[in-house]
C-alpha cells in the first residue's frame, strides 16, 4: 500500500521556500544597485592601536579619518585607568543603571561632567546615538514639534522621527529660517536640536543667534557637542564655553566620549529636573545595560589629562591653521572650516572612491563620504586632523593631494 502524501504540507513548504528565495533575491538586487551607484560600504579592520599611524591588511597608513582629535585613545594614563578599573570593577556592568549596573565610577564621572559643563547634573549613556534619542523622545511627543538643522546628524533625525512629534527641517545654519518656521508653528512644545560642529562639513552652528531665536519663540534649545566637547573652549568645555553661552540659554547639552576624549559612551548635562525626567522616562537609559565601569574610569582619566595637557588643543589648532593655509595655496576645494574636520569636496561618488583608493595606495587612510550620509552630488573626502599628527605628516598628505587632484 502506497504511503499517504500530505499535499497541503508540500504546498506550504514550496511557498515558504519561494518566499525565502524572493526575499533573498530582493536583498541581492538592493546590494547590487548600491555597488552600481558607487555607494557600497566596506569595513576596515585594524591590526594596530588607534592613532595617527595604523595597520590595515598589512599596510602601514597615516590615519586622517579618526575622530580621536586629541590623541587620547592611546594615552598611557587613560590606558592605565582602564586596566585598574577593570581589575577593581570587572568588565561588564551587568545590568541597567536603574537595576544594579551603576557603580561609584559612574557617579564620579557624572559629577565631574556636571562640574565641567557648569550644570547641576549629568547622565551617562552607552552612545551618543542613545543620548540623542533620549532627548527627543523624552521631551517631545505627538502634540509637539522638533526643529532640526538640515544637516543635523542622523541620530538627531532618527530621534525626532521616533519622538512622534511634527518634524521641521530648517536651512543649514540659517537662524532666520528657523525663526520663521518657529513663528508659524502651532505645536504645543517646541524643541530645537542641532549639532554644534557639523560632522561632515566641519562648520559651526550660529549658536548665539539660535539662542536668541529660541528665546523669542519660546523654544527649548538642545545641542549635540560631539565634535566640539574637549576640543573647543578655553578649558575644552566645548562650543558653549568658547562662545560663553550659559546653561540657561542652552538647557540641554549632549556630548560624547568616543571622539576627543578617546574612550566610548556619551552624556547629557542639564539641570536636576531635566536629568530626573530622563532617569524616569528615557527608554534608551532605562532599558539598556550601563556603560562598562572601566570605560567610566578611563573617561575620568581623559578629563584629567584634558585639564593638565592644554598643549594638545593648542597643537591641534596650529595644525588646522597650517592645513587650511597650505590647502588654500594649493587650490584644493576644501570647505570653509576652522575645526579638525576638513572636507575635501569631490562631488561624484565614483571619483571620491577612486581618490580614496589612490590615497590608500600612497599610504593614507581617508574615507570617501557619499550619500546618504551627505546630500546627492556632494561626495567628499573627510579629512580629520588630530593633536597626535605631525606637521610633516600633514605636509606629506597635502603634497600627495596636490599630485592627485
Strand 266-270's sheet: what is its strand order? 121-125, 266-270, 252-256, 220-224, 190-195, 145-149, 166-170
State residue 215's pLDDT score.
97
Active site residues: 199, 227, 259
Q: Are residues 121 and 42 in the same domain?
A: no
Q: Are residues 96 and 206 in the same domain?
A: yes
Q: Are residues 86 and 229 in the same domain?
A: yes
State residue 2's pLDDT score.
53
210 belongs to a structural domain: yes
Q: Are residues 234 and 184 in the same domain?
A: yes
Domain that holds residue 279: 76-308
30 belongs to a structural domain: no
State residue 143's pLDDT score.
97
Domain end marker among 275, 308, 341: 308
Counts for the chain of helices (H) and strands (E), in that order: 14, 13
Q: Are residues 297 and 373 in the same domain?
A: no
Q: 154, 215, 147: which is closest to 178 by C-alpha? A: 147
State residue 21's pLDDT score.
84
178 belongs to a structural domain: yes
CA distance 383 to 323: 10
pTM of the model: 0.92
Q: CB neighbours of 354 closer than 8 A, spacing ≥ 6?
A: none
- Which mean pLDDT values do the consecutive 10-residue runs of the chain (405 residues) have? 57 66 92 91 90 94 97 97 97 96 97 97 98 98 97 97 97 98 97 98 98 98 98 97 97 98 98 98 97 98 97 97 96 96 96 96 96 94 98 97 93
CA distance 252 to 220: 8
Domain end marker among 308, 337, 369: 308
Q: Are residues 144 and 262 in the same domain?
A: yes
CATH number where 112 lies: 3.40.640.10
- Displacement of CA 164 from its chain's centroid (Å): 23
State residue 9's pLDDT score.
61
State residue 20's pLDDT score.
72
Domain end marker among 260, 281, 308: 308
Q: Are residues 259 and 236 in the same domain?
A: yes
150 belongs to a structural domain: yes
Q: Are residues 113 and 261 in the same domain?
A: yes
Which tens digits make up the pLDDT trace of 193-217?
999 999 999 999 999 999 999 999 9
Q: Is-contact 268 131, C-beta < 8 A?
A: yes
The secondary structure element, H or E, covering residue 117 is helix 104-117
Residues in a beta bridge with 194:
223
18 belongs to a structural domain: no
Instruction: Provide the domain count of the chain.
Output: 2
160 belongs to a structural domain: yes
Q: Are residues 84 and 57 in the same domain?
A: no
Q: Are residues 314 and 384 in the same domain?
A: yes
Q: Are residues 285 and 319 in the same domain?
A: no
262 belongs to a structural domain: yes
207 belongs to a structural domain: yes
CATH number where 392 lies: 3.90.1150.10
Q: Are residues 81 and 198 in the same domain?
A: yes
Q: CB neighbours of 149 closer than 8 A, spacing ≥ 6?
A: 169, 170, 172, 173, 193, 194, 195, 198, 205
State residue 18's pLDDT score.
72
Q: Which value, in Å, is the radius of gyration of the alpha carbons in the chain? A: 24
Amino acid at each position: 500500500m502506497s504511503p499517504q502524501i500530505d499535499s497541503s504540507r508540500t504546498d506550504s513548504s514550496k511557498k515558504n521556500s519561494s518566499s525565502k528565495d524572493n526575499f533573498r533575491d530582493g536583498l541581492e538586487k538592493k546590494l547590487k544597485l548600491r555597488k552600481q551607484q558607487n555607494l557600497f560600504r566596506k569595513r576596515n579592520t585594524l591590526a594596530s592601536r588607534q592613532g595617527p599611524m595604523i595597520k590595515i591588511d598589512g599596510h602601514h597608513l597615516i590615519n586622517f579619518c579618526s575622530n580621536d582629535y586629541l590623541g587620547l585613545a592611546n594615552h598611557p594614563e587613560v590606558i592605565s585607568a582602564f586596566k585598574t578599573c577593570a581589575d577593581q570593577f570587572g568588565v561588564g556592568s551587568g545590568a541597567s543603571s536603574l537595576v544594579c549596573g551603576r557603580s561609584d565610577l559612574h557617579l564620579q564621572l557624572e559629577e565631574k561632567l556636571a562640574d565641567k559643563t557648569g550644570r547641576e547634573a549629568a547622565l551617562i549613556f552607552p552612545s551618543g546615538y542613545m543620548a540623542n534619542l533620549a532627548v527627543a523622545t523624552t521631551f517631545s511627543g505627538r502634540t509637539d514639534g522638533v526643529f532640526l538643522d538640515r544637516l543635523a546628524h542622523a541620530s538627531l533625525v532618527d530621534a525626532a522621527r521616533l519622538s512622534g512629534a511634527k518634524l521641521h527641517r530648517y536651512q543649514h545654519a540659517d537662524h532666520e529660517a528657523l525663526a520663521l518656521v518657529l513663528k508659524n508653528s502651532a505645536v504645543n512644545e517646541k524643541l530645537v536640536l542641532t549639532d554644534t560642529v557639523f560632522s561632515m562639513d566641519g562648520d559651526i552652528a550660529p549658536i548665539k543667534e539660535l539662542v536668541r531665536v529660541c528665546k523669542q519663540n519660546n523654544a527649548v534649545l538642545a545641542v549635540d557637542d560631539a565634535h566640539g566637547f574637549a576640543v573647543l573652549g578655553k578649558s575644552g568645555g566645548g562650543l558653549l564655553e568658547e562662545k560663553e553661552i550659559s546653561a540657561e540659554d542652552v538647557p540641554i547639552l549632549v556630548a560624547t566620549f568616543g571622539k576627543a576624549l578617546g574612550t566610548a559612551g556619551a552624556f547629557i548635562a542639564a539641570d536636576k529636573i531635566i536629568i530626573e525626567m530622563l532617569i524616569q522616562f528615557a527608554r534608551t537609559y532605562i532599558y539598556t545595560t550601563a556603560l562598562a565601569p572601566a570605560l567610566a574610569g578611563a573617561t575620568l582619566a581623559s578629563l584629567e589629562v584634558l585639564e593638565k595637557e592644554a598643549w594638545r588643543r593648542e597643537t591641534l589648532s596650529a595644525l588646522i591653521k597650517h592645513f587650511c593655509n597650505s590647502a588654500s595655496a594649493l587650490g584644493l576645494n576644501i570647505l570653509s572650516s576652522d575645526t579638525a574636520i576638513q572636507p575635501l569636496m569631490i562631488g561624484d561618488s565614483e571619483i571620491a572612491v577612486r581618490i580614496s583608493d589612490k590615497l590608500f595606495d600612497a599610504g593614507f587612510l581617508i574615507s570617501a563620504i557619499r550619500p546618504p550620509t551627505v546630500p546627492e552630488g556632494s561626495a567628499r573626502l573627510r579629512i580629520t586632523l588630530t593633536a597626535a599628527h605631525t606637521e610633516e605628516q600633514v605636509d606629506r598628505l597635502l603634497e600627495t593631494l596636490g599630485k592627485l587632484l
